[in-house]
Amino acid sequence: MSSTRASAAQEAPLTLDQPAPKVLSFWDQSAFWANLGVSLIAFSGAYTVLAPNAEGAAQISIAAGILATVLGTLVGGLMLGAAALTGARTGQPAMVLLRGLFGAKLSYLPTVLNIAQLIGWGTFELIVIGDAAGELFGGGPHWLYVVVAGLLTTVLTIWPLGSVRLLRRFVTAGVVIALIWFYAQFFRAGLPDLRANPGPSGSGPFGVDWNLFWVATDAALAVSISWVPVAADYTRHSRTGRSAFGAASGAYALTQIIAYVLGLFALALATGAGGPYAPFLQVSLGALFFFVFVLREADQSFANVYSTAVSIQNLAPRVDRRVLSIGLGALITVLALRLDMSNYFGFLGLIGSVFVPLLGVLVADFFLRAHREWNTAPDAPARWGMVVAWLAGFAVYQLINPGDAGVWTEFWDRVRQALHFTAQAWMSASLLSFLAALAVAWLVGKVAARTASA
């Protein structure tokens, strides 16, 4: 009986009104974030840091793409670390933290948006796993791969902290070995000139068109920031704030850079035959080590599903997260079997742009203001000034990059025309919207403090 109680005390609480145990070490968290940085999407989507044009052709060299990956990931990693630190300091999950930023009721809006995007990304991860497994095994029942991945995801979410520790003890070693193996095989195969510029002639050294370089940097930065809305869900269990920040910013940035560079090398070696993972499967023992990546991808869907459950608890605090996890695991499995996610990308990009300026507001109010109690109670009062700062940053993002979301994009195109504003290629939507939201939130905080003391 005592061992059962001790085991339960080491796990995430079942409801929101139970305390979060501080049981995750620096190495537990490092393994977790390091595994999230290595993704099949990074391998297949590495071309996004080559600033592809409308036809999908790269416009900067692979060398420039690597440089953009490093810079964007390091900046994004610092932002991720800041979000992780807030969870460690407060012991609250990400969406509950927003009660202190916006007020309890106003926190429901970003919570609903986060739930929508996490369900979308969880679904997409199962589709990616199914596609990769099909390529690995030379076909077979796609539905079976998706169902198995959905079941594995659900099991991991029922014991989330145990799953994090499992990654540290077993999975991370396999991933490291697989990465080393593929790097060695790709170098043995002989890489083309990484400085060759597939884009317009007349670019600078290393094939860099510096305007397009910042577009590429923004692509890498955005991937890191995509984990910001879930970071505190895990780091609230961190033993110290320092370990939470260091693991999230350092381990994730390191492995994302390694994975993207490996994906760029695979792209350089691709011959056009086979799917996006063909270069991995064509090397010696490639299928064996690629299987490690396919199996490990379940931690991406696990993170999305568990954070969806915790986000729902901000709306319904007493609902058991295990019930939510099982229901959500079944939901994303059904969606992955029935949906074509290509039509969902515009929506996911739109929702994702919500959380970049939101982080700017959080950083300004949590770290830059004088110490105040961070009120995450169910009756925390509304703070409309912070909502204004958030919307200001969101508007900056949309003016620079409204994405490809049909009527929504057309609306922002008309706004840009009315303002006589033309987005320049060097403008980073992620970075500038973050800074704009941070600046407005800081000013709002200063005015509110002076008003209160008057």
pLDDT, tens digit, 9 for 90 and up, residues 312-363 = 999 999 999 999 999 999 999 999 999 876 655 566 567 778 999 999 999 9
pLDDT at 371: 62
pLDDT at 449: 81
What's phi and psi for 216, nearest 5 deg?
-65, -40
Q: What is the pLDDT of residues 180-198, one digit of tens each?
A: 999 999 988 876 666 555 4
Report helix, strand or coil for 209: coil
Q: Is it the case that residue 62 has pLDDT exceeding 60?
A: yes
Q: What is the pLDDT of residues 110-165, one digit of tens each?
A: 999 999 999 999 999 999 999 999 999 988 899 999 999 999 999 999 999 999 99
Q: Are 53 and 268 in contact (CB under 8 A)?
A: no
Q: Is it the case that residue 71 has pLDDT exceeding 70?
A: yes
Local structure of residue 66 (DSSP, 8 states): H
pLDDT at 336: 95
Local structure of residue 406 (DSSP, 8 states): T
Per-residue pLDDT, averaged over 49-63, amounts to: 78
CA 158 – CA 285 distance, rounded (Å): 34
pLDDT at 3: 43
47 against 254, higher pLDDT: 254
User: What percent of the chain has pLDDT above 70?
Assistant: 89
Q: What is the pLDDT of residues 389-415, one digit of tens each?
A: 999 999 999 999 887 777 888 999 999
pLDDT at 1: 44
Report helix, strand or coil for 432: helix
Report helix, strand or coil for 204: strand
**Residue 197: in which H helix or E strand, if any?**
none
pLDDT at 426: 78
Q: What is the pLDDT of residues 185-241, one digit of tens each?
A: 998 887 666 655 544 434 444 445 667 788 888 888 888 888 999 999 999 999 999
Largest CA distance in the chain: 73
Please give the structure tokens belonging to residue 365.
Answer: 């109010």
Mean pLDDT across the chain, nearest whole number?
Answer: 88
User: What percent of the chain has pLDDT above 90?
Assistant: 64
